[in-house]
Amino acid sequence: MEKILLAPSILSADFANLSTSIDKIKRGGGNWVHIDVMDGSFVPDITIGPLVVKAIRPLTDLPFDVHLMIDHPDRIIPRFAEAGADYITFHWENVIHHHRVVQQIHSLGKKAGISIVPSTPVSAIKEILPYVDLVLVMSVNPGFGGQKLIPSCINKLTELVSIKNENNYDYFVSVDGGINNETLPSVLATDLDVVVSGSSFFSGNLKWEK
Ligand code: DX5
Ligand code: ZN
The answer as to whether 207 is a domain residue is no
Q: Is 143 in the pocket of ligand 1 (CB under 6 A)?
A: yes
The answer as to whether 209 is a domain residue is no
The answer as to whether 75 is a domain residue is yes
The answer as to whether 148 is a domain residue is yes
CA–centroid distance, residue 46 to ligand 1 (Å)? 14
- The answer, yes or no, to whether residue 204 has pLDDT greater than 90, is yes
The answer as to whether 210 is a domain residue is no
Tens of pLDDT, residues 21-65: 999 999 999 999 999 999 999 999 999 999 999 999 999 999 999
pLDDT band per the 50, 70, 90 thresholds, residue 210: low
CATH of the domain at 132: 3.20.20.70
Q: Is 12 in the pocket of ligand 1 (CB under 6 A)?
A: yes
CA distances from 25 to 28, 90, 96, 99, 191 (A): 5, 23, 35, 33, 23
The answer as to whether 175 is a domain residue is yes
Tell me the residue range of the domain where 80 lies. Answer: 5-202
Structurally, how many domains does the chain consist of? Answer: 1
Q: Is 37 in the pocket of ligand 1 (CB under 6 A)?
A: no
pTM, whole model, 2 decimals? 0.98
DSSP 143: T
Tens of pLDDT, residues 89-108: 999 999 999 999 999 999 99
The answer as to whether 104 is a domain residue is yes
Atom nearest to 67 CA in ligand 1: 7
